[in-house]
Amino acid sequence: MKILVVDDDRLSRRILEMDLKKKGHDVISAENGEIALNLLKSDMEISLVITDWNMPVMDGLELCRKSRELIRKRYLPMILLTSRGEKEDLIAGLNAGADAFLSKPLNSPELQAHLKVVGRNLDLEKKLSDQIEEIKLAHIELQKANVKIEDIARHDGLTGLFNRRYVMERLEAEMIRSRLQGTPLGVIIIDIDHFKKVNDQFGHLMGDKVLRETSQVMQSNARPDDILGRYGGEEFLGVFPNTVMEGLLVIADRIRLSVQNNPIQLDTEESLNIKVSIGMACFKADRDTSTTLLSRADEALYEAKKNGRNQVCFR
């Protein structure tokens, strides 16, 4: 331990210092309470104070009181050295913040017994502190895991876009906000044209690659507040807050052209040109539910397919 010895008697202080150092402790000393208090303020590694009661400038009782006002990470045990033995003196010492009393002249075995008690308490405090740190670290890791789980629960495992459940939840929330604030809201349903042929001709691994890379292209053309997710199979659903029909058409056609202009590289040197059909609809606050809104977007998608695919239609 690092021990602070406080005594105005130089000889007594020196004898105690030597005795403690023989027992392997790191010892510093002070000749009165004022000096000792300044040392405590500057050196937070001190783990025990052994102080005489009667001293000039600041006595041991006042040192105990002042020391208890210091903000420290760890508890500071304090032992009072005194020739006083009256009950009232002991009560005064305890009230001032002393933890134990030793009679002068010092009895070395008695001092050693007190040091063992202090050492055990410091060990317990250290173990408790370590356990608290472990709990804090475990809590941080748990928070990270919860964030990761929440992220997994929101996203489609293949494409990295939001999954159907989350997009539908956000659609319902945006519809409520649109009604309350009177803001426009649009949706689009995107379907990869002739996707079954991709799977049949090149296999499902290539089909997965098409889904992933097409999703990335679509996401790169969405704005930060737009909500884009996998609706099912090769279909995707986009929810676009604060977007009127003209703006929605611009976004939808930008996505369509971007997919068309970004061919998928095959395992050979050839590439695969992918195209999409898009149906779009704008929310009518006075009559639409999520079902009717998506139904109109789906009808528009069907019209785009029927009219030759690779186009945007509106309902």
CA-to-CA distance for 203 and 208, rounded, in angstroms?
9
CA distance 53 to 31: 12
> Is the per-residue pLDDT at 281 higher than 90?
yes
User: Tell me: the pLDDT tens digits for 95-138?
Assistant: 888 888 888 777 778 888 888 888 888 888 888 888 988 999 99
The token duo for 43 is: 């050196």
Mean pLDDT of 44-57: 90
**125 classed as catalytic:** no
Please list the residue range(s) of the chain that carry CATH number 3.30.70.270: 164-314
Q: Does residue 288 register a pLDDT over 90? A: yes
CB count within 10 Å of CB 154 equals 16
In the predicted model, what is the mean pLDDT of residues 210-239?
95
Q: Give the pLDDT mean for 176-200.
A: 96
- 176-181 average pLDDT score: 96
Q: Which of the following is catalytic: 17, 69, 234, 299?
A: 234
Residue type, 283: F
Q: Which residues pair with 276 in a beta bridge?
A: 192
Residue 311 is which amino acid?
Q
Residue 233 predicted with pLDDT over 90: yes
For the chain, the distance separating the N- and C-terminal CA atoms, rounded to the nearest angstrom, is 80
* Domain ranges in the chain with CATH number 3.40.50.2300: 2-129
85 falls in which pLDDT band (50, 70, 90)? low
Confidence (pLDDT) at 290: 96
Inter-residue contact 192 to 276 (CB < 8 Å)? yes
3 state SS of 89:
helix
List the single range of 55-59, 104-108, 252-256 with lowest mean pLDDT: 104-108
Residue 188's nearest CA partner among 160, 167, 205 is 167
* Residue 81 banded pLDDT, cuts 50, 70, 90: confident
The residues with which 280 forms a beta bridge, in sequence order, are 188, 314
The answer regarding whether domain 2-129 maps to CATH 2.60.40.10 reads no
Instruction: Give the C-alpha separation, 226 to 174, whole Å.
Output: 11
Of the CA atoms within 13 Å of residue 183, those in its CB half-sphere come to: 13
Q: Where are the alpha helices (DSSP H) in 9-72?
A: 10-22, 33-42, 60-68
pLDDT in tens, 136-170: 999 999 999 988 888 888 999 999 999 999 999 99
The whole-number average pLDDT for the span 81-91 is: 78
**What is the mean pLDDT of the segment spanning 188-198?**
96
pLDDT per position as a tens digit, 20-33: 998 899 999 999 99
Among 153, 188, 193, residue whose Cα is nearest residue 169: 153
CATH 3.40.50.720 fits 164-314, yes or no: no
Residue 2: helix, strand or coil by DSSP? Answer: strand
Q: Which residue has the higher pLDDT, 300 or 266?
A: 300
* 105 upstream amide cis, omega within 30 of 0: yes
* 174-198 mean pLDDT: 96
pLDDT value at 46 more than 70: yes
Tell which residue, 280, 276, 311, has the closest CA to residue 296: 280
- H helix intervals, 191-289: 195-202, 204-220, 245-260
